[in-house]
Amino acid sequence: MVSHGEDSDIQFLYSILFLFVTSYFSNLLFLPQMRKLEMLRSCLKGLLKVLNLSVTVTHLMTSMLQSRQIPSSLKLIFAVPPFFVSYADMMNLKRATKRDYEKSLEYVDKVVLVFSPACSEAKLLRVKLLLAVKDYSSVISEAGYILKEDENNLEALLLRGRAYYYLADHDVATKHYQKGLRLDPEHSQLKKAYFGLKNLLKKTKNADDNASKGKLRVSVEDYRAALALDPDHLAHNVHLYLGLCKVLVKLGRGKDAITSCNEALNINEELLEALVQRGEAKLIVEDWEGAVEDLKSAAEKSPQDMSIREAFMKAEKALKMSKRRDWYKILGVSKTASVSEIKRAYKKLALQWHPDKNVDNREEAEAKFRDIAAAYEVLGDDDKRSRYDRGEDIEDMGMGGGGGGNPFSGGGQQFSFHFDGGFPGGGFDGGFPGGGGFQFHF
């Protein structure tokens, strides 16, 4: 039985605890009831001693918690969000945010460990919350303090190993997992962490090996499989995204390569190689301005790297070439078309767009016919075609500027095309209906 005096002390304690909780802990998530009891029982002794309450009251309170006989006034405390959170429980709540973790960490630091500095449960909780907010250096140091007190603390070994893992220090992480498993070979979380890391490293090695052997398509699948294992492992995934981007560039899959490079740069915006590879990928998709921008930025960051400088110059040349007339496109042939293919295309289009055959749209026909003739003037000549393919300006060939005006003017030369039953370049027999006699004088 509890005496009247002891009951008064308990009611006084209830009031203090209620004010204490509602003052400091208004924004935390709920814990399962048993978890509350376990953690409160673990830390309450230290808390009550700091409040200078009697040993009898301390014993009574911990006994009630242990037996789950919680008076209604103490239940009021549980009606508001509790004053610390279990990381494992929070991980199962999709609504938990970084701010939730940070607030929980603040309360553990400023209240729980102030009132009960020796509470091991609270110390481990603090390390879990530091891991949740991705403060890996602090996790390593704080878990290290716990391991100095108890070198066989499995949870501290697990948490410290995870911190090294997320810093991509996989060798040290593995040592922590292995030490824990030597102490408890059946520890489920340590086993999951250890074998998960082994699987990640295996898939990463397979991807890198296949890329170096030229098995590019297999390598793409390996990289993607490795990335799927742990999307949160940014320190490692940045290199997987870069490797995937490089392989996709080699395969000519520019759009996919840009996506992979963007992922790498989102993780580390200073990753020079990812910037270069993205520039190369943009060349593939003919984003000339984007390629020049990326490769210029890379060249400025690494002015001594001649390979980057060459890639930048290639992009500038591609941009310049993109702004001139595309004679291949005008004739509707590929850049690898043979001389005979070019000639056939020219004849077909010249017949189609001859002004004598397009009386109703004569102005449009004349413009197109001039372009067709100009295209053939360049592509039908081996020397001019070679110079054009190298990116030399039309003006350098004694031609008019591509993009407007008379394509055959310039250099003081005058070109005359007479269509009296034939076409320039030869090969046409016969005239057009309605009579010949059509001619251009330039």
Claim to verify: residue 9 and residue 108 sit in the same structural domain? yes
What tokens appear for 369 in the block? 């016919």
Residue for token pair 């005006």 = 405
Domain limit, last residue, from 133, 160, 182:
133
Q: Is residue 183 part of a domain?
A: no
- For the segment 155-184, the average pLDDT, to the nearest whole number, is 97
Above 60 in pLDDT, residue 366?
Answer: yes
Q: Is residue 95 part of a domain?
A: yes
Given this model, what pLDDT does residue 240 score?
Answer: 97
Domain limit, last residue, from 133, 151, 177:
133
Above 60 in pLDDT, residue 101?
Answer: yes
Q: Is residue 288 part of a domain?
A: yes
Above 90 in pLDDT, residue 133?
Answer: no
Other C-beta atoms closer than 10 Å to the C-beta of 21 total 20
What are the pLDDT digits (tens) for 282-315? 999 999 999 999 999 999 999 999 999 999 999 9
Q: Give the domain range for residue 378.
A: 327-441
Claim to verify: residue 38 and residue 52 sit in the same structural domain? yes
Claim to verify: residue 409 and residue 341 sit in the same structural domain? yes
What are the pLDDT digits (tens) for 27-79? 334 444 444 445 544 444 444 444 444 444 444 444 444 444 444 433 333 33
Percent of the chain beyond pLDDT 90? Answer: 50
Q: Is residue 138 part of a domain?
A: no
Given this model, what pLDDT does residue 322 score?
Answer: 79
Q: What is the CATH number of the domain that holds 275?
A: 1.25.40.10
In contact, 279 and 291? CB cutoff 8 Å: yes
Domain limit, last residue, from 133, 160, 189:
133
Q: Find the helix packing angle between 288-301 and 272-284, rounded to 10°.
A: 160
Given this model, what pLDDT does residue 96 score?
Answer: 59
Claim to verify: residue 14 and residue 121 sit in the same structural domain? yes
- For the segment 240-249, the average pLDDT, to the nearest whole number, is 97
> What b/e string do you get for 72-95 counting C-beta neighbours within 10 Å, with b at 16 or more?
eebeebbeebbbbbbbeebeeeee
Q: Find the helix packing angle between 120-132 and 33-50, rounded to 10°.
A: 120
What are the pLDDT digits (tens) for 189-237? 999 999 999 999 999 999 999 999 999 999 999 999 999 999 999 999 9
Total-model pTM:
0.64
- For the segment 398-408, the average pLDDT, to the nearest whole number, is 40
- Could you tell me the pLDDT band of residue 25, with boundaries at 50, 70 and 90? very low
